[in-house]
C-alpha cells in the first residue's frame, strides 16, 4: 500500500479541515491536498503515532513530530488507517544507523563538494583562535586512540603541568573517564573554562592525581588563587550520587577550589517539563489563565532561566574575576555542555556569528560527546534516555537574541533549522553519540554535512539588525535575569501552527529589503560605471548594447518577489504574497452558517454562546 485517498487533515486549533491523498514513501509521509499543496513529514521526525477510536467520519490518526508538528488525519476506512499505522510503526523504529536517512540522502553534489563540506569546521583552528596551545596549555595525545575516554574527542587540551600519569589517574577517578579538559580559553585574562564529569568520590574517596589535575588548572591562571568548580546539579542530586560511589569534590581535599552548586535539573525532569508544556499549549480553547498557570506549573521557563543563570555565573567568574572554572554535572555531556557553550556565547562575540555558532556546537556538543543519538531518539532505544537538552540550549540562545537584537549575526531561523536537522537524521553531523562511533560509521565518507548546507544558504539566516561593531562595545553580554524577560518561544513550539503567528513578518520583510538594498547598490555601481564610460566617451556602441539590457533586468529585480525562505515551515507568519491566502484560510473557518437559529459563532479559540 503506498497511498490512501480521501484522507482529511484536521487543522489543530480550529474546526477547519482539508482533504487529500496520503502517500507513504520509504523516507517520507506526504499529504497532497486537492489543490496540490503538499505537507511532507520525514519519518525520522515522527515521535509517535496514535490511532484513536473510530468516529462516524472515519478513523483518526494523530502523529506527533519531534519538530513539534502535530497532524491529525481522519482516514475513511479503518483498514486503511490500520495499514498506515502499522507501516509507520515499522518505519519509525530504525534499529541500525544504516537505516537512517543520512545514508540515502543525495543532494546532487559531487564528491569534492561533499568532502569540502566536512572540512568547513576545524576545531584545531578554533583552539588556535583562542590562543591555545600556549605557554600554559598544550595539546595532549593521551586520547589519540580513544583509550582514556571513548566519549571524548581525540584531541584534548590540558595544562602544561598535567603529566600523563596525572591525566590517567584523574580520568580513573571521573565518571566515564571524562577528566578535566579545556573547552574555552578567555585570552584577555588567560582564564580557562574546563569541563569534566563527576568525581567518583563516594563518601570519602579521594584521588591525588585528580587533585593535582585541578591544581594544574589553577596554576595555569595567575589571576586567581583558586578555581571555581561549578557542579551544575541541584545539591540534593549530587549528594544522592555519593551513595553510588560518585558525588562531588570535597573542598577539604582540593585546597585551591571554590565549590558551587547551580541547580539545573536532570534530563528526566526536563523531558517531563517539556512534555507538560506541549500538553498545555496544545490544548484547544485554552484560556489565558490556564496558559499562564500551565507555563508556571510545567516549569520549563524556570529551567531555561536556570541554565542562563548558570552561564551568567560562569561568565562573570571568568571575565570579571579572571578565575578559571571547571564545570561538571553527572556525566558532563548534558548540563555541562549547555553551560559551557552558553557561557562561551556570552563571552566571545565570535560565537554569535553564523560560522562561530556552528563551531561552538561542533566543539561543546558534537565533539565532547553529547549523546545526540540517545537524546534525540535516533534509533529505537531507551525512552528514558530521550531528553530535549539541546532544544533547551537553542531556546536559551533564542532568549538571548531577544534581549540583544543587535548582537547576533543569525536570526531565530538558524536555530529552528538546526533544530529541524538535529532530528531529521538527514545530515551526518548529529548521528551517533560520540566521535569515536562517528568515525566507525565513516560519516565523513558516507553522509553530508549540515554546516555546508546552512552556510550555502546563509543569507536566509541573517539577522538584519545585526551590528558587527556591537561586539566592540559589548564583547561580553550581560543579560537580564529578571523572569519577565524570559518568554515562551512560540516560533519553536508552534512553528507549524500557522494561525498562531503574526500574519506579516517584520524579519522577513526587512531581510528582503536588505537584500534588495545590496542589489540596488550593485545596480548603482553598474549604472555609474556605464555613465562614466559614456561621459568619457570610452565606450563603443557594441559594449553599450550588450550591457544595457542586463542592467535593466537587474534593476527590475529591485524587489524580489520570491519568498526568501523556501522551507515549508511558517516561521513568523506569512509573507506579503501569502497574505491573501491566509485570509481565505480564515474565511473558511468562519464561514457563515446557513441556519442562524442555533448561533455558534466562532473566533480563533474563543467560543461565543448565545
Partner 1 sequence: MFLCSHFILTQPVTFLVKHQQRCQEMEFAELIKTPRVDGVVLRRPFLPTVEGTLCLTGHHLILSSRQDNTEELWLLHANIDAIEKRFVGSLGTIIVKCKDLRVIQLDIPGMEECLNIASSIEVLSTLDSVSLMYPFFYRPMFQVIEDGWKSFLPEDAFKDLESMTEEWRLSDVNKDYSVCSSYPPLVAVPKDVDDDTLRKAAAFRHGGRFPVLSYYHKKNGMVMMRSGQPLTGTNGRRCKEDEKLINATLRAGKRGYIIDTRTVSVAQQAKARGGGFESEANYPQWRRIHKAIERSSILQESLIKLVEACNDQSHSMDRWLSKLEASNWQTHVKEILTTACLAAQCIDREGASVLVHGTEGTDSTLQVTSLAQIILDPACRTIQGFQALVEREWLQAGHPFQQRCSQSAYSNSKPRCEAPVFLLFLDCVWQILRQFPCSFQFSQHFLVLLFEHTYASQFGTFMGNSASERSKLNLSQKTVSLWSWVNRPQEVERLSNPLYEANCLVIWPSVAPQSLLLWEGVFLRWKRSSRCLDEAYDEMVHIIQYNNKELQNKVNNLRRQLAQLETEEPLLQTP
Pairwise CA distance, residues 1 & 122, whole Å? 46
Verify binding: residue 528, partner 1, rule CB under 8 A: yes
Among 208, 320, 550, 601, binds partner 1 (CB under 8 A): 601
Residue 333 is assigned to a ligand binding site: yes
Verify binding: residue 38, partner 1, rule CB under 8 A: no
Residue 223 is assigned to a ligand binding site: no
Verify binding: residue 219, partner 1, rule CB under 8 A: no
Task: Name which of 154 and 490 has its Cβ closer to partner 1.
Answer: 490
Verify binding: residue 563, partner 1, rule CB under 8 A: no
Which H or E run contains 60? strand 59-65
Q: Which member of 196, 298, 329, 340 is catalytic?
A: 329
List phi, psi (to 5°) of 55: -120, 175
- Mask: binding to partner 1, 298-337, rule CB under 8 A, as x and -? -x-xx--x---x----------------------------
**Which residues between 224 and 283 bind partner 1 (CB under 8 A)?**
281
Residue 171 is assigned to a ligand binding site: no
Three-class SS state of 414: helix
Among 442, 481, 543, 567, binds partner 1 (CB under 8 A): 481
**Which residues between 491 and 510 bind partner 1 (CB under 8 A)?**
494, 499-506, 509-510
Segment interacting with partner 1 (CB under 8 A) among 23-31, 140-148, 269-277, 476-484: 476-484
**Which residues between 405 and 464 bind partner 1 (CB under 8 A)?**
405-406, 464
Q: What's the closest the beta carbon of residue 268 comes to partner 1, in angstroms?
A: 20
Among 123, 160, 168, 467, binds partner 1 (CB under 8 A): 467
Q: Which residues of 504-526 are buried (b: 16+ CB within 10 A; e: fewer)?
A: ebebbeebbeebeeeebeebeeb
Output helix, strand, coil percentages for the chain, rounded to the nearest 5: 45, 15, 40
Residue 204 is assigned to a ligand binding site: no
Verify binding: residue 606, partner 1, rule CB under 8 A: yes
Verify binding: residue 68, partner 1, rule CB under 8 A: no
Residue 81 is assigned to a ligand binding site: no
**Which residues between 281 and 300 bind partner 1 (CB under 8 A)?**
281, 286-293, 295-296, 299
Q: What's the closest the beta carbon of residue 592 comes to partner 1, in angstroms?
A: 6
Q: What's the closest the beta carbon of residue 287 comes to partner 1, in angstroms?
A: 7
Q: What's the closest the beta carbon of residue 317 comes to partner 1, in angstroms?
A: 18
Which grid cell sits at 36? 496540490
Verify binding: residue 550, partner 1, rule CB under 8 A: no
**Which residues between 116 and 145 bind partner 1 (CB under 8 A)?**
none
What Å distances lie between residue 109 and 224, 439, 449, CA to CA?
A: 51, 22, 12
Residue 335 is assigned to a ligand binding site: yes
Verify binding: residue 592, partner 1, rule CB under 8 A: yes
Three-class SS state of 36: coil
Question: In degrees, to the nearest 5, what angle opens at C-alpha 414 toward C-alphas 412 and 417?
Answer: 110
Task: Name which of 72 and 302 has its Cβ closer to partner 1.
Answer: 302
Active site residue 298: no
Contacts of the segment 316-319: beta carbons below 8 A, 24+ positions apart: 317/228, 318/186, 318/189, 318/191, 318/193, 318/343, 318/347, 319/186, 319/188, 319/189, 319/191, 319/347, 319/476
* Number of residues engaging partner 1 in binding (CB under 8 A): 83
Segment interacting with partner 1 (CB under 8 A) among 23-31, 138-146, 232-240, 512-520: 512-520
| 532 conformational bin, left if phi > 0, alpha if psi -120 to 50, beta if neither | alpha
Q: Which residues of 447-464 are buried (b: 16+ CB within 10 A; e: fewer)?
A: bbbbbbbbbeeeebbbbb
Pairwise CA distance, residues 114 & 107, whole Å? 10
Q: What's the closest the beta carbon of residue 459 comes to partner 1, in angstroms?
A: 14
DSSP for 103-136 reads: GT---S--HHHHHHHHHS--HHHHHHHHT-S-SS
Task: Name which of 375 and 501 has its Cβ closer to partner 1.
Answer: 501
* CB-count exposure of residue 147 (10 Å: 0-12, 13-18, 19+): exposed
- The conformation of residue 199, written as its DSSP 8-state character, comes to B
List phi, psi (to 5°) of 24: -125, 115
What are the binding residues for substrate? 266-267, 329-335
Q: Which residues are catalytic?
A: 329
Binding residues: 266-267, 329-335
Amino acid at each position: 500500500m503506498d497511498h490512501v485517498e480521501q484522507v482529511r487533515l484536521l487543522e489543530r486549533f480550529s474546526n477547519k479541515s482539508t482533504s487529500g491523498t496520503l502517500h507513504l514513501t520509504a523516507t517520507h509521509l506526504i499529504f497532497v491536498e486537492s489543490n496540490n499543496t503538499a505537507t511532507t513529514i520525514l519519518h525520522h521526525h515522527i515521535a509517535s503515532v496514535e490511532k484513536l477510536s473510530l468516529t462516524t467520519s472515519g478513523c483518526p490518526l494523530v502523529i506527533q513530530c519531534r519538530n513539534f508538528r502535530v497532524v491529525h488525519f481522519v482516514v475513511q476506512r479503518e483498514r486503511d488507517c490500520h495499514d498506515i499505522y502499522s507501516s509507520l510503526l515499522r518505519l519509525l523504529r530504525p534499529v541500525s544507523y544504516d537505516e537512517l536517512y543520512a545514508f540515502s540522502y543525495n543532494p546532487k553534489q559531487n564528491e569534492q563538494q561533499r568532502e569540502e563540506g566536512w572540512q568547513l569546521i576545524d576545531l584545531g583552528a578554533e583552539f588556535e583562535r583562542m590562543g591555545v596551545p600556549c605557554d600554559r596549555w598544550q595539546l595532549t595525545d593521551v586520547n589519540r586512540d580513544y583509550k582514556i575516554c571513548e566519549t571524548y574527542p581525540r584531541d584534548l587540551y590540558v595544562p602544561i603541568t598535567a603529566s600523563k600519569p596525572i591525566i590517567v589517574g584523574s580520568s580513573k577517578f571521573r565518571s566515564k573517564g571524562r577528566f578535566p579538559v579545556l573547552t574555552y580559553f578567555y585570552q584577555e585574562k588567560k582564564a580557562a573554562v574546563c569541563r569534566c564529569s563527576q568525581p567518583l568520590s563516594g563518601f570519602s574517596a579521594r584521588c591525588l592525581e585528580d587533585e593535582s589535575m585541578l591544581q594544574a588548572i589553577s596554576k595555569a591562571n595567575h589571576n586567581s588563587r583558586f578555581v571555581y568548580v561549578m557542579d551544575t546539579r541541584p545539591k540534593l542530586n549530587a549528594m544522592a550520587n555519593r551513595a553510588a560511589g560518585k558525588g562531588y569534590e570535597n573542598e577539604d581535599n582540593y585546597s585551591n577550589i571554590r565549590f558551587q552548586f547551580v541547580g539545573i535539573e536532570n534530563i528526566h525532569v526536563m523531558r517531563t517539563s517539556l512534555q507538560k508544556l506541549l500538553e498545555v499549549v496544545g490544548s484547544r480553547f485554552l484560556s489565558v489563565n490556564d496558559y499562564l498557570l500551565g507555563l508556571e506549573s510545567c516549569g520549563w521557563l524556570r529551567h531555561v532561566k536556570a541554565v542562563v543563570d548558570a552561564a551568567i555565573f560562569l561568565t562573570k567568574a571568568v571575565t570579571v574575576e579572571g578565575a578559571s572554572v571547571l564545570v561538571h554535572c553527572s556525566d558532563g555531556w548534558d548540563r555541562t555542555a549547555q553551560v559551557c557553550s552558553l557561557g562561551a556565547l556570552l563571552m566571545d562575540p565570535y560565537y554569535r556569528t553564523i560560522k562561530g555558532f556552528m563551531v561552538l556546537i561542533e566543539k561543546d556538543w558534537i565533539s565532547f560527546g553529547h549523546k545526540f543519538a540517545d537524546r534525540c531518539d535516533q534509533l529505537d532505544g531507551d525512552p528514558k534516555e530521550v531528553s530535549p537538552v539541546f532544544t533547551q540550549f537553542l531556546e536559551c540562545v533564542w532568549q538571548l537574541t531577544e534581549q540583544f537584537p543587535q548582537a547576533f549575526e543569525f536570526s531565530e531561523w538558524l536555530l529552528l533549522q538546526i533544530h529541524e536537522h538535529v532530528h531529521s537524521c538527514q545530515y551526518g553531523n548529529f548521528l551517533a553519540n560520540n566521535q569515536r562511533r562517528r568515525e566507525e560509521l565513516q560519516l565523513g565518507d558516507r553522509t553530508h554535512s549540515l554546516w555546508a548546507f546552512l552556510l550555502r544558504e546563509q543569507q536566509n539566516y541573517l539577522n538584519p539588525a545585526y551590528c558587527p561593531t556591537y561586539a566592540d562595545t559589548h564583547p561580553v553580554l550581560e543579560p537580564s535575569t529578571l523572569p519577565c524577560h524570559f518568554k515562551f518561544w512560540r516560533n519553536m513550539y508552534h512553528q507549524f501552527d500557522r494561525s498562531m503567528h503574526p500574519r506579516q513578518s517584520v524579519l522577513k520583510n526587512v531581510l528582503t529589503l536588505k537584500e534588495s538594498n545590496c542589489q540596488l547598490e550593485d545596480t548603482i555601481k553598474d549604472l555609474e560605471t556605464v555613465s562614466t564610460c559614456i561621459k568619457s566617451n570610452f565606450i563603443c556602441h557594441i559594449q553599450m548594447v550588450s550591457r544595457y539590457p542586463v542592467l535593466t533586468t537587474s534593476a527590475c529585480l529591485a524587489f524580489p518577489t520570491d519568498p526568501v525562505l523556501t522551507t515549508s515551515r511558517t516561521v513568523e507568519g506569512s509573507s506579503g504574497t501569502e497574505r491573501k491566502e491566509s485570509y481565505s484560510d480564515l474565511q473558511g473557518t468562519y464561514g457563515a452558517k446557513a441556519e442562524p437559529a442555533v448561533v455558534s459563532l466562532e473566533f480563533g479559540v474563543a467560543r461565543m454562546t448565545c
